[in-house]
Amino acid sequence: MSEGDGRVSGGVGDEEDGRVNGVVLLGRAVGAEWVKLWSVRSTWWCLAGAAALTVLGAVTVGAGEATDLARAAAGDASVTASGPVVSAAALVPFALAAMATLVITAEYASRGIWGTLQAVPVRGRVLAAKALVVAPVAAVAGVLSGAAATAAVTAVLSADVFGARVALPPDRIALDLLRMGLFFALVSVMTVGVGAAVRSAAGTLSVVFMLLMGVPMILLMTGGSAALAASLRMPLFAGLAFMESADTVTGGPIPYPAGEGLAWLLAWTTAALAAGHAVLRRRDA
Amino acid sequence: MISLKGLCKRYGDRTAVDDLSLEVRAGAVTGFLGPNGAGKSTTMRLVLGLDRPTAGTALIGGVPYHQLRNPLRTVGAMLDARALHPGRSGYAHLTALARSNGIARGRVAEVLERVGMAEGARRRAGALSLGMSQRLGIAAALLGDPAVLMFDEPVNGLDPEGVRWVRHLMRSLADEGRTVFVSSHLMSEMQLTADHLVVIGRGRLIMDAPLAEVIAGSALTAVAVRTPHADDLSARLSAAGVTVERLGENELVATGATIERVGDLAYEAGIRLHELRTREASLEQAYQELTAGSVEYATRGTGA
């Protein structure tokens, strides 16, 4: 211990105020969130979960598709290796949503949010920093685990039992993986927004689950055409539309263009962030 | 320097802080006292912009907290030493804080050294003892070399050596010209550390005065007398309207009179004195007198 060692020398305050703008301050907040994300184990568990879900889901779906093709004796038709990966993408958002949830709810649970807001008192900046850290991590996780899953699908479907019905068109695969990364990034950012509004981990995951799966399923079960149209505009189906997934829970491709899917996805993400920001600003920490 | 003007905070129909106005000045340790639930922590949260005041303002050097661009370089605060992710190491916690305010990386090791946590900071925060968490919290407060420091119950959970260390630290921070605002329920601790006292009860300001004044003003500050004629003197003093308490064969304690008056009364009666001195009230006693009203009220309030 070395109290009074003179190193802390009398209140220097905010001497660089003049040349520091909002962009620099946001950059610093992002740096802090980056350090926080990688210094807890839960991040690694969630990313490992996302990768495992992608690979296992894709191989299962891919094997099913190849079997269907073989049964139908469909000539030399083959499965695009990244196709099953995109189909399996309906499961993966939950693992990444868990990561995005913890980025904000773990701070409320431990009251670490006090320290966060002491360091960065502008609420919008805190939320933006968290979103800016979660988005690229989820995107890269999507691309990398998607690439691994594509390789796994290729390996499995090359086996004789599946009749080697697998194709590897590079353009299509690259597009699939990139779009999947963007989809995961947007779902994760949406989760950050929900987390800021709800604050508890259980509550946040419930709301995200309802948005992705629960509400669309309930709408589908009602069977009405308006309900069907609405459910297809919820974030999960909007994402599948954006990725042009051929095989979805609804039993076929989403009946609107990829661009519209992206637009709906952006709208949901923006709405969640706006809700989170409003609560952060108004409610006591 | 911290200045509060008409600060109010209500949670529903409960008033936590009620029209609080005060200045906490630089270069001194200001003790912040009050019974449990008096509003000390809430006041600190309002200063830090964690909660929004219902009315009034809390300014730091004339600026509201949220307008500070790199707040950790102006205000260092420890509200709750346990308020951090239990799975993150103290080192990572401080590194993140340093990054957020553009504080050089080297400061992290420096403050950890200063609080004696150079090694402990590698462990998960959840595995630290309360005393070590307190040291980590103090390190976080010192990180930005701030001019204003606020600590909520900093000696909680510290061993006697740690308590002495915190006392020294507060003193040296104030001597460096910083504003040091410390809440505590340990009156004896405040008596040793603080220069100035702010006492609140039920969210209201009860006293804002230098420590010496608070103690001198107490009705329990008394004059102790040792004399072989204790009975005579006791009668004399009582007749003069001084309250007398007999402590022993030869000892009296007089309250309600200055030491000069007690000496004069003894002289006039021709009574020999072997000792005449002022017996100061402890801060504990002075504090209990000051807050008796608000504690009583609180008890009645909860009974209703």
Helix (H) or strand (E) holding B224: strand B222-226
The answer to whether residue A191 is domain-embedded is yes
C-alpha pair distances (Å), A4 with each of B104, B111, B156, B167, B180: 20, 12, 22, 12, 14
Whether residue B77 contacts residue B44, with contact meaning beta carbons closer than 8 Å, is answered with yes
Q: Tell me how far the alpha carbon of residue B181 is from its chain's centroid.
A: 7
Bridge-based pairing state of the strands B222-226 and B196-201: unpaired
Tell me the two tokens of residue A255: 């009946």
Residue A122's CB: how many other CB atoms inside 10 A? 22
Which tens digits make up the pLDDT trace of B121-140?
999 999 999 889 999 999 99
Q: Within an 8 Å CB–CB cutoff, is residue B102 touching chain A? A: yes
CATH for the stretch B222-279: 3.30.70
- Contact residues on chain A for B110, CB-CB shorter than 8 A: 7
3-state secondary structure (DSSP) of residue B183: strand
DSSP bridge pairs for B5? B57
Supply the DSSP symbol for A210. Answer: I
Report the pLDDT averaged over residues B253-274.
Answer: 90
Residue A4's CB: how many other CB atoms inside 10 A? 15
Domain boundaries, chain B: 2-211, 222-279
How far is A174 from A177, CA to CA, in rounded Å? Answer: 5
- Radius of gyration of the CA atoms of chain A, in A: 22
Q: Is the dihedral of CA A163, A167, A168, A174 positive or negative?
A: negative
Q: Which of residues 45-74 of B touch A (CB under 8 A)?
A: 45, 48-52, 61, 65-66, 68-74
Tell me the two tokens of residue A112: 């670490």
pTM for the complete prediction? 0.85
Q: Which of residues 14-33 of B touch A (CB under 8 A)?
A: 26
How far is A41 from A34, CA to CA, in rounded Å? Answer: 14
How far is A73 from A91, CA to CA, in rounded Å? Answer: 30
Q: Tell me how far the alpha carbon of residue B237 is from its chain's centroid.
A: 37
Residue B138's CB: how many other CB atoms inside 10 A? 24
How far is B140 from B125, CA to CA, in rounded Å? Answer: 13
Task: Quote the number of domains for chain A.
Answer: 1
Backbone φ, ψ for residue A6 (5° rounding): 80, 0
- Contact residues on chain A for B142, CB-CB shorter than 8 A: 8
Alpha helices in B81-148 (DSSP H): 90-100, 106-114, 130-142
- The reported pLDDT for the residue numbered A145 is 94
Whether residues B83 and A33 touch (CB distance < 8 A) is answered with no
pLDDT higher than 70, residue B69: yes
The answer to whether residue A3 is domain-embedded is no
pLDDT tens, chain A, 285 aa long: 333 333 333 344 445 556 678 899 999 999 999 999 999 999 999 999 999 999 999 999 888 888 888 787 767 778 888 888 988 888 888 899 999 999 999 999 999 999 999 999 999 999 999 999 999 999 999 999 999 999 999 998 888 777 777 888 888 899 999 999 999 999 999 999 999 999 999 999 999 999 999 999 999 899 888 998 999 999 999 999 999 887 655 567 788 999 999 999 999 999 999 999 999 999 998
- Domain limits for position A144: 24-282
User: Which member of A5, A39, A114 has the closest CB to residue B89?
Assistant: A39
C-alpha pair distances (Å), B57 with each of A13, B202, B268: 21, 19, 57
Q: Within an 8 Å CB–CB cutoff, is residue B169 touching chain A? A: yes
How far is B38 from B298, CA to CA, in rounded Å? Answer: 9
- Contact residues on chain B for A24, CB-CB shorter than 8 A: 102
User: Which member of B79, B165, B176 has the closest CB to residue A8?
Assistant: B176
Nearest CA distance, B93 vs chain A (angstrom):
7
**């589908």: which residue's tokens?**
A220
- The reported pLDDT for the residue numbered B300 is 42
Q: Nearest residue on chain B to A102, judged by CA atoms?
A: B85
Backbone φ, ψ for residue A255 (5° rounding): -80, 40
How far is B197 from A241, CA to CA, in rounded Å? Answer: 66
Whether residues A36 and B96 touch (CB distance < 8 A) is answered with yes
DSSP string covering A102-145:
HHHHHHHHHTHHHHHHHH---HHHHHHHHHHHHHHHHHHHHHHH
- Contact residues on chain A for B168, CB-CB shorter than 8 A: 3-4
How far is B245 from B252, CA to CA, in rounded Å? Answer: 6
Assigned fold of B2-211: Rossmann fold (3.40.50)
How far is A222 from B135, CA to CA, in rounded Å? Answer: 59
How far is B147 from A44, CA to CA, in rounded Å? Answer: 39
